[in-house]
Structure 1
Amino acid sequence: MFSGSIFPHWRRKAAERFSGTSSEIPFYLNAAYYPNWRIYRKQPPSALRLGFVSHIFYAFAWVKEDGTVYGRNQLSDEWADTQMPVDGTTGCLRAFAQLKPQYSKLKLVLSIGGGGKGSENFAAVARSKSCTETFAQSARRLVDEFGLDGIDVDWEHPADSQQGQDYIRLLARLRDYFPPPYVLATCLPAGQWALQHIDLQKAAKYVDMINIMGYDFAGPWGAESGHHAQLYCPSYGSGVSCQSAVEYVLGQGVHPKKLLLGIPAYGRSFLGSDNIGQRYAGCGGEDGVFDYSELPRPGATEYHDEQVAAAYCVGGDGGFVTYDTPQTVQQKAKFVTREQLGGLFYWHIGGDARGPRSLIEMGYNTLHEM
Structure 2
Amino acid sequence: MVPRSQSWFCPCSCITGSSDSEQEYHQQQPDISRPPPHSQDNGHEMVRPHDGGRKYMNGVYYPSWLVYKGKTPATLDIDNITHVFYAFIGVKEDGSLRWIDEHADVVKDVDGEKGALAALAKLKRNHPRLKTIVSIGGGTASKEFPALAANSHARETFAKQAREFCDRHELDGIDIDWEHPKNAEQGRDYVKLLKACRRAFPEPNYLITTALPVGQYILRHIDLDAVSRIIDYLNLMAYDFTGSWTKVCGNHAQLRSPGTRLQSTHPELQACATDGVDYILSRGFPSRKIVLGIPAYARYFPRAEGPGCSTEKAGEMDYCDIPDEWVREAVVDEAAVAAWYVDANGDKGYLTFDVPRTVHLKARFAMQRGLGGLFYWTGTGDKGEGLSLVAAGRRGLESS
Could you state the TM-score of these two structures normalised by the residue count of structure 1?
A: 0.90
Asked if structure 2 preserves the Cα contact closer than 8 Å seen for 1:185 and 1:208, the reply is yes
Give 5+ residue unaligned stretches, structure 1. 1-16
Paired residues in the alignment total 344
Answering whether residue 321 of structure 2 is matched by residue 294 of structure 1, we say yes
Question: Residue 293 of structure 1: CA displacement?
Answer: 1.2
Letter in 2 for 1:294: D
Question: Residue 297 of structure 1: CA displacement?
Answer: 7.5
Answering whether residue 86 of structure 2 is matched by residue 58 of structure 1, we say yes
Coordinate RMSD, CA, aligned = 1.6
Answering whether residue 294 of structure 2 is matched by residue 266 of structure 1, we say no
Partner Cα distance (1:258, 1:325) in 2:
25
> Out of 151, 156, 159, which is 2:182 matched to?
159
Partner Cα distance (2:218, 2:198) in 1:
23
Partner Cα distance (1:243, 1:46) in 2:
34
Letter in 1 for 2:251: H
The farther-off stretch of 43-52 and 143-152 is 43-52
Asked if structure 2 preserves the Cα contact closer than 8 Å seen for 1:36 and 1:81, the reply is yes
- Name the SS for the 1:363 alignment partner: helix
- Name the SS for the 2:191 alignment partner: helix
Asked if structure 1 preserves the Cα contact closer than 8 Å seen for 2:288 and 2:371, the reply is yes
Asked if structure 2 preserves the Cα contact closer than 8 Å seen for 1:46 and 1:87, the reply is yes
Distance 1:290 1:297, change over 3 A: farther
> Out of 272, 287, 299, which is 1:256 matched to?
287
1:120-159 Cα distance to aligned partner (Å, 9 max, x none):
0000000001111111111111111111111000001111
1:7-35 Cα distance to aligned partner (Å, 9 max, x none):
xxxxxxxxxx9355x76352111111001
Partner Cα distance (1:81, 1:326) in 2:
31
Asked if structure 2 preserves the Cα contact closer than 8 Å seen for 1:19 and 1:105, the reply is no
Letter in 2 for 1:259: I
Partner Cα distance (1:229, 1:299) in 2:
17
Partner Cα distance (2:201, 2:229) in 1:
13
1:155-202 Cα distance to aligned partner (Å, 9 max, x none):
011111000000001101100000122010000111111211001110
Answering whether residue 118 of structure 2 is matched by residue 88 of structure 1, we say no
Partner Cα distance (1:223, 1:323) in 2:
19
Partner Cα distance (2:324, 2:292) in 1:
26
Question: Residue 40 of structure 1: CA displacement?
Answer: 1.1
* 2:354 alignment partner in structure 1: 324
- Name the SS for the 1:156 alignment partner: coil
> Out of 122, 132, 145, which is 1:122 matched to?
145
Question: Residue 279 of structure 1: CA displacement?
Answer: 2.1
Distance 1:299 1:175, change over 3 A: closer
- Name the SS for the 2:229 alignment partner: helix
Q: Percent identity?
A: 41
Give 5+ residue unaligned stretches, structure 2. 1-45
* 1:6 alignment partner in structure 2: none
Partner Cα distance (1:295, 1:244) in 2:
29
Distance 1:226 1:90, change over 3 A: same
Partner Cα distance (2:159, 2:237) in 1:
24
* 2:394 alignment partner in structure 1: 364
- Name the SS for the 1:148 alignment partner: coil
Partner Cα distance (1:218, 1:99) in 2:
36
Partner Cα distance (1:176, 1:304) in 2:
45
Letter in 2 for 1:56: V
- Name the SS for the 2:362 alignment partner: helix
* 1:140 alignment partner in structure 2: 163
Partner Cα distance (1:230, 1:296) in 2:
21
Deviating above 6 A after TM superposition, structure 1's stretches of 4 or more consecutive aligned residues are 297-300
Letter in 2 for 1:326: P
Partner Cα distance (2:208, 2:112) in 1:
29
Asked if structure 2 preserves the Cα contact closer than 8 Å seen for 1:51 and 1:103, the reply is no
